[in-house]
Amino acid sequence: MKRLAVLVALLLMSQFLGVYYPAAETESSTSTPIKHVVMIMMENHSFDNIFGLYPTMNKTNPGPILSSLQAPADVLNVSSNVILSQLPNGTYSTADPNEESYISDWDNGKMDGFLYNSGAQAMTYFGPSQMGIEWDWAEDYAIGDNYFSSCLCETDPNRLYSLAGFDGGLTGDYGPPPYIPVNQTIFGELSQHGVSWAYYIQNPQVNDFPLNYFTGISTYSSQIQGFADFKTALQQGTLPSVSWVQPVGGGADDIDEHPPANVTIGEDWLLGIVDSIMSSSYWNSTAIFITYDEGGGYYDQVPPPTLDGVLLGFRVPFFVISPYAKENYVSNTVMNHASQLAFIDYNWKLPALNQFVADSDLPLDMFNFQNYPTGSATRPPVLLSNESTFPVNPQLPLNQLPYSRLGSSAETLANITTSVAVQNNTSITPFYETLPFIVIAVGVVAVVAVVLNARLRSRRSS
């Protein structure tokens, strides 16, 4: 009876929290040959700010490689009344644009408020002299030019979307609270289904931002590790199925590319992470997803769409590096941060984490799981160095690739399954962290301080 009572209590609790977990698949059972996913999220750059001119850096004499590369929607398509400027060679940073004027920048889809609201620095973009590594990866692997941040808002809520498909009701960088129960996150879902995972930051002993937004995250403290642990896992063959390697939190400084940092510092860090994966035994079974949390106030030309009633944020860079990633491919699929969660659920045959994840388009068109003319579905890694320049020679002849280098997909988990883990997302704000309570508490403390001070003065005068 006692065991039955416990089971009933757990069932009722899961229903209260809006969580449903059906029977788990085995960890080795995946929908694709990919057995490991590594996710990296940089900071505060729009698509146009980094890939705005890719790949046409020389319009008058591009040369045979550049003229044959697939181009995304770039700043050359921008209306002539929008004045943008390329940062000159030797310039690796700008002042930080205003990050709190997204709605005004957006201007009901006109995308014309950046200069006035976010500043002149918002109207700049980098070229290959600053972002050559990212441009080389775009050439050799796959990028998306319709990938948006998940909300028209700042860092914190977008990072919550990337881990929970939900922002907890947060609208800016001022929490927590609110808090999100950890069993409503991808961490809870993976753990429930026996899929191994780890979250790597520079030093978990310093802080674990943004995991501090999740109640119950301490249950998984052993899976929150440092960068050195990630390298050790690659070397010792203990890499989990799903990994986050994040340049924010843990005391990290400047490696996230957040302006006004020198972007080459973050680029070198990113290169080290990617090359370490490419050089490991995990390369042939891995997909690396790299994106940016939000546009940071930098100009982008494409008005964001809505998804499930949520206005998405501005476009941000997104590229997939994998032996299965299509070479020099540009995806027009409309995606957001929850698309990465959708891929995890799809690949490990899990229910969609929540409805927002279920309705987010999957990045499946960015992969090729069929054999190339060489007879293999995988490609050797393209190891770059921090001295690499753009462009590099294509790994496979572009005119022999067995697919178009431009495409899109509308495949979602909602098209595949009706199973959703979190039926109703909830967030928690303890009463002692609510604004009214804090105001009252501060007022009480102030009154007590005044009274005590008055009594002290009275005693001294007597």
- Provide the 8-state DSSP code for 146: S
Neighbours of 370 (CB within 10 A): 9
Domain-located, residue 3: no
Structural contact between residues 326 and 405, judged by C-beta atoms closer than 8 angstroms: yes
Is residue 58 located within the same domain as residue 184? yes
Task: Give me the number of domains the chain comprises.
Answer: 2
Question: Would you give the distance in Å from CA 338 to the centre of its chain?
Answer: 9
Share of the chain above pLDDT 90, in %: 76
Among residues 343, 206, 202, the alpha carbon closest in space to that of 272 is found at 202
Q: pLDDT category, 304, cuts 50, 70, 90?
A: very high
439 CB contacts (<8 Å, ≥6 apart)? none
Q: Same structural domain for residues 164 and 299?
A: yes
pLDDT value for 11: 36
How sure is the predictor about 172, in pLDDT bands with cuts at 50, 70 and 90? Answer: confident
* Residue 319, SS3 per DSSP: strand
Length in residues, the chain? 462
Structure tokens at 30: 């995946």
**Average pLDDT across the chain, whole number:** 89
Query: Is the pLDDT score of 435 beyond 80?
Result: no
Q: Range of 189's domain?
A: 24-429
Q: Which of 51-65, 270-284, 381-395, 407-421 has the lowest mean pLDDT?
A: 51-65
> What confidence score (pLDDT) does residue 61 get?
63
Of 299, 356, 292, 248, nearest to 102 by C-alpha is 299
Output the pLDDT for position 67. 87
Proportion of the chain above pLDDT 70, given as a percent? 87
Residue 423 resides in a domain = yes
pLDDT above 50 (res 17): no
The answer on 440 and 419 residing in a single domain is: no
User: How far is it, in rounded angstroms, from Cα 165 to Cα 356?
Assistant: 6
Q: How far apart are CA 148 and CA 291, in angstroms?
A: 10
Are 309 and 453 in a shared domain?
no
Band of pLDDT at residue 214, cut at 50, 70 and 90: very high
Q: Are residues 251 and 308 in the same domain?
A: yes
436 and 373 both lie in a single domain: no
Asked if 35 contacts 348 with a C-beta cutoff of 8 angstroms, the reply is no
* Better-scored residue on pLDDT, 23 or 147: 147
Residue type, 138: A
Q: Tell me the three state secondary structure of residue 218.
A: helix
Asked whether residue 436 falls in the same domain as residue 422, the answer is no
Find the CATH number of the domain harbouring 86: 3.40.720.10
Closest-CA residue to 390 (of 382, 402, 378): 382
Q: What is the reported pTM?
A: 0.89
Strands 318-321 and 147-148: what pairing? unpaired
Residues 425 and 436 in one domain: no
CA 13 to chain centre: 30
State which amino acid sits at residue 303. Answer: P
438 and 425 in a single domain? The answer is no
- Torsion sign (Cα): 399, 405, 406, 407: positive
With residue 191 as reference, give the H or E element that holds it. Answer: helix 186-192
CA distance 98 to 87: 18
Largest CA distance in the chain: 99
Residues 437 and 288 placed together within one structural domain of the fold: no
Q: Check residue 8 and give its pLDDT.
A: 37
446 & 327 share domain: no
* Residue-wise burial string across 307-333, b where 16 or more C-beta atoms lie within 10 A, e elsewhere: beebbbbbbbbbbbbbbbbbbbbbbbb
